[in-house]
Amino acid sequence: MAEFVRVVAGKGISIAAICGATLFLCRHGFLNHVKHTGDSLELFQNQQGYTGQDLYVPAQVVVDKGFITANETAAVEFAYHIFKTLKIDTDEEIEKWFDNFKNGAVRTL
């Protein structure tokens, strides 16, 4: 699987990982050279060969150099950034989608 990710990333195709999938990227050295996030910096630091601690960002989602990483609580934000990267719709429609799923379809004043 790591070789597949290497090939895909080498072709300029975006890689998206959330929660435990970020740990996979960490274990295989993919996060040593891109800004990234995940469930915790400490979790990454416990992985052999991880040298990307200076690039770790404590955020819901980080997008850098074709990698989209997210922590376990960022499902909506993660999908939003994937949609933006893939340009699945207009920016306006993606923003509407995000607002609806982040803030709810029913709102009270």
Query: What are 17-61's pLDDT values in tens digits?
Result: 999 999 999 999 999 999 999 999 999 999 999 999 999 999 999
Q: How do beta strands 67-70 and 15-18 pair?
A: parallel
* Tokens matching residue 42: 């400490």
Which residues, in sequence order, are CB contacts of 58 under 8 Å at separation 6+? 37, 41
Lookup: tokens for 48: 């052999």
Share of the chain above pLDDT 70, in %: 99
Q: Which residues are catalytic?
A: 19
Average pLDDT over residues 61-65: 98
pLDDT at 108 over 80: no
Cα–Cα distance between 86 and 80 in angstroms, integer? 10
The number of residues making up the chain comes to 109
> Does the pLDDT of residue 85 top 80, yes or no?
yes
Residues 73-101, mean pLDDT to the nearest whole number = 97
CB 78 within 8 A of CB 68: yes
| 91-103 vs 75-86: helix crossing angle, rounded to 10 | 170
- Look up residue 19 and give its DSSP letter: T
Task: Assess whether pLDDT exceeds 90 at residue 109.
Answer: no
Q: What is the mean pLDDT of residues 94-102?
A: 96
pLDDT value at position 47? Answer: 96
pLDDT score at 107? 79
